Amino acid sequence: MRLLAFTLLLGSAWAFADDRPLRFSVVDSWAMPLAHIEDGKLTGGILFELFSETARQVHRAPAFHLLPRARVEQALLSHVVDVRCYVAPSWTEHEFHDYRWSVPLMVQRDLLVSRAGLKGELQSLTGESIGTVLGYHYPRLQPLLDNGRLTRDEARNQELVLKKLQIGRYRYAISSEIALNWFNRSLPKGERLTPASTIEETPLACMVLDSPEVPADEILKALATLKADGTIERILSHYR
């Protein structure tokens, strides 16, 4: 992973030092395979590869701004970051008229996950504590929380949510499919966590600041090309 990170950074357009870096937002609660964060810095993972390749395509060096999830939207409103990725319009509280949306780049498939092969639909559960990531909004879960049928048991990131499920803190958790597969990759078959049901599938994209200092058209074109030519699929395949 360190070699890959070093190679990608060398491949970034350091020769274009006259242009300021392209600033990407990084949520400090992201975990692998989305992001490897070490000593407060993004050093690997799916989004590290995507950000680095996007910056290379537009001849900018990437700069990674590590932020708590609750501060990401304020950073956008203040134009502290140029690009926010792995996001859907339904996940944002503001419309952000100064930002433009890319084409959908990947799909997040959210699952209800269980131990020991338990099955069940989220809407059919009652009296359960559901493992969730602190600060994440779950549209399908919220009505069940509001009427008191279910409660949340939160952890700081997706990996910790799954670890708590593994040791039996609760019987069900919500996880993306890619995070579940990453978590299970080194576990014996009989100990792996399993999908109880699919909750929803959400197309995810990037938001790009439309500003004289940011080549928004080039960035959006680069992202569309990375999707169309299979680069994003190849990045995802590294973590399956």
Q: List the domains of the chain with CATH numbers.
A: 2-106+204-237 (3.40.190.10), 108-201 (3.40.190.10)
Task: Give the pLDDT confidence score for residue 12 in this predicted structure.
Answer: 44
Q: Map residue 68 onto helix, strand or coil.
A: coil
Provide the CA 21 distance to its chain's centre, in angstroms.
22
Please state, as a whole number, how many other Cβ atoms lie within 10 Å of the Cβ of residue 20.
13
pLDDT for res 205: 98
CB-CB contact of 35 with 26 (8 Å): yes
Pairing of strands 22-27, 62-67: parallel
- pLDDT of amino acid 60: 97
Cα 173 to Cα 152: distance, rounded to the nearest angstrom: 9
Q: What is the DSSP letter of 193?
A: -
How far is it, in rounded angstroms, from Cα 84 to Cα 219? 12
pLDDT (0 to 100) of residue 52:
98
Our measurement of the distance from residue 75's CA atom to the centroid of its chain's CA atoms, rounded to an integer in Å, reads 17
Write down the pLDDT at residue 135.
85
What pLDDT, on a 0 to 100 scale, did the predictor assign at position 13?
Answer: 41
Q: What is the pLDDT along the chain (240 residues), one digit of tens a residue?
A: 544 554 555 454 444 445 899 999 999 989 999 999 999 999 999 999 999 999 999 999 999 999 998 899 999 999 999 999 999 998 888 889 999 999 999 999 999 999 878 899 999 999 999 999 998 889 899 999 999 999 999 999 999 999 999 999 999 999 999 999 999 998 998 899 999 999 999 999 999 999 999 999 999 999 999 999 999 999 999 998
Please give the C-alpha separations between residue 170 and each of 51, 87, 113, 156, 182, in angstroms, as whole numbers.
35, 28, 11, 16, 20
Classify residue 214 by its DSSP letter. B
Q: pLDDT digits over 5-34, tens only?
A: 545 554 544 444 458 999 999 999 899 999
> What's the CA gap between 102 and 224, in Å, rounded?
7
**Distance (Å, whole) CA 188 – CA 25:** 35
CA separation for the pair 199, 139 (Å, rounded): 10
Amino acid sitting at position 212 = P
- The position carrying tokens 């039996």 is 168
Coil vs helix vs strand at 151: strand
Give the pLDDT confidence of 47-67 residue by residue, as tens digits: 999 999 999 999 999 999 999
DSSP code of 21?
A: P
Contact 157, 182 (CB under 8 A): no
**41 backbone dihedrals φ, ψ, rounded to 5°:** -130, 145
